Amino acid sequence: MEFDDKIPIYYQIKNDLYHRIVAGDLAPGEKLPAVRQLAVDLTVNVNTVQRALSEMVTEQVLTSKRGVGNFVTQDTTKITALKQRLSHGYIERLYTQLHALRLSDGEIVAAIQEYMATTNEEE
Amino acid sequence: MEFDDKIPIYYQIKNDLYHRIVAGDLAPGEKLPAVRQLAVDLTVNVNTVQRALSEMVTEQVLTSKRGVGNFVTQDTTKITALKQRLSHGYIERLYTQLHALRLSDGEIVAAIQEYMATTNEEE
DNA sequence: AATAGTGTTCTACTTTTCTATTACACTATA
DNA sequence: TATAGTGTAATAGAAAAGTAGAACACTATT
């Protein structure tokens, strides 16, 4: 995984896990790899992984069983809410940014469709 | 100006200036406030302002005249290119993020239009 | 009971960012 | 030619994030 050095790594790890959970890549109730294994996979220190996971436990997106492992919550309403929260946040940020560049609502939609058209074309 | 403590302040200052330049709030050739004044306005250290500005000089978005001041470039093609670069980057990031959440192209456009509808309604 | 695998916590160190302060370099103008 | 206003640079210190390594706590299995 590549990291943006402008943003704390633990924060980027959280976001990556959020995405994998919402996408269903990590199913409700599924056990995560061991923290030491995750640290190896991400080429990062155990403490950095731990910080990301412990925050997600606090947020009740994960549950932790000492001596056993970390697990994705079984409460699917939490996951749905997470998806909503993330996508709404992303859209809000884009809207704010493009508005600051003085793009109108119509121009914003057009720019996105234009982006999609050129992106899919090249595949 | 409020800062996000997850991102370096000098970086956020750069982005704020980018936006003000692209929006025309700071016109081509216009003189910026003195670095010490900007530091006061932003309640930040002079060096932090200086770091933001010097990077923008390197990028040729600003020009600097020692003993005189910092100025927005007069080269409007640079500004247009900057606007393109920023908006494309923002859209690309949104697209990547929402795709990671398994939203299709159509769902992405719909979600944005839905967002715009509810936002404008409340005004 | 022993052991291996797991989460958790702690301390020490490094790097980056930001602040504080001072000094230096240049320009315009009184 | 002073002087005020400007950009530029350098040093030192504080705070936050990350790394490294070790130790501790708990669980399941043998």
Q: Minimal Cα distance from B80: which residue of A?
A: A101
Residue A102: per-residue pLDDT: 95
Nucleotide closest to residue B57 (CA–C1'): D7
State the helix-helix crossing angle for B105-121 and A105-121, rounded to 10 degrees.
170
3-state secondary structure of A63: strand
Q: Looking at residue B123, what is its pLDDT?
A: 65
CA distance A48 to B7: 18
Task: Looking at the complex, report in whole angstroms how far the Cα of residue A118 sits from the nearest Cα belonging to chain B.
Answer: 12
Confidence of residue B121 (pLDDT cuts 50, 70, 90): confident
Give me the half-sphere count of Cα atoms (radius 13 Å) on the Cβ side of residue B13: 22
Mean pLDDT of all residues in A103-121: 94
Using a CB-CB cut-off of 8 Å, the residues of chain B touching A86 are 97, 101
Among the partner-chain residues A6, A90, A108, the one whose CB lies closest to the CB of B8 is A6
- What's the farthest any 2 CA atoms get from each other in chain A? 54
How do residues B45-88 score in pLDDT, each as one tens digit? Answer: 999 999 999 999 999 999 999 999 999 999 999 999 999 999 99
The reply to whether residue A108 touches residue B112, judged by beta carbons under 8 angstroms, is: yes
Mean pLDDT across chain B: 94
Question: What residue in A sits closest to B112 (Cα-Cα)?
Answer: A91
Residues 6+ apart with CB under 8 A from A65: A71
pLDDT band at A119 (very low <50, low <70, confident <90, very high): confident
pLDDT at A123: 64
Q: Read off the pLDDT of each residue in A36-65 and give the average, rounded to a whole number.
A: 94
Confidence of residue A5 (pLDDT cuts 50, 70, 90): confident
Q: Tell me: pLDDT of B122 over 90.
A: no
Mean pLDDT, range A1-20, rounded to an integer: 91
Determine the pLDDT at residue B119. 87
In the block, tokens 């409460």 appear at: A75
The pLDDT > 90 percentage for chain B reads 92
The residue whose two tokens read 């058209």 is A117
A123 versus A97: which is more confidently predicted?
A: A97
Tell me the torsion sign for CA atoms A54, A60, A65, A70.
Answer: negative
A57: burial class by Cβ within 10 Å (0-12, 13-18, 19+)? middle
pLDDT at B18 over 70: yes
SS3 sequence of chain B? CCCCCCCCHHHHHHHHHHHHHHCCCCCCCCECCCHHHHHHHCCCCHHHHHHHHHHHHHCCCEEEECCCEEEECCCHHHHHHHHHHHHHHHHHHHHHHHHHCCCCHHHHHHHHHHHHHHHHHCC
**pLDDT at site B22:** 96
- A6 CA, D24 C1': Å apart: 34
Separation of alpha carbons B62 and B73, rounded Å: 5
Measure the N-to-C terminal CA separation of chain A; round to a whole number of Å: 23
The fold of B9-74 is Arc Repressor Mutant, subunit A (1.10.10)
Q: Among the ranges A4-8, A100-104, A116-120, which has the highest mean pLDDT value?
A: A100-104
- Average of pLDDT values for A66-83? 96
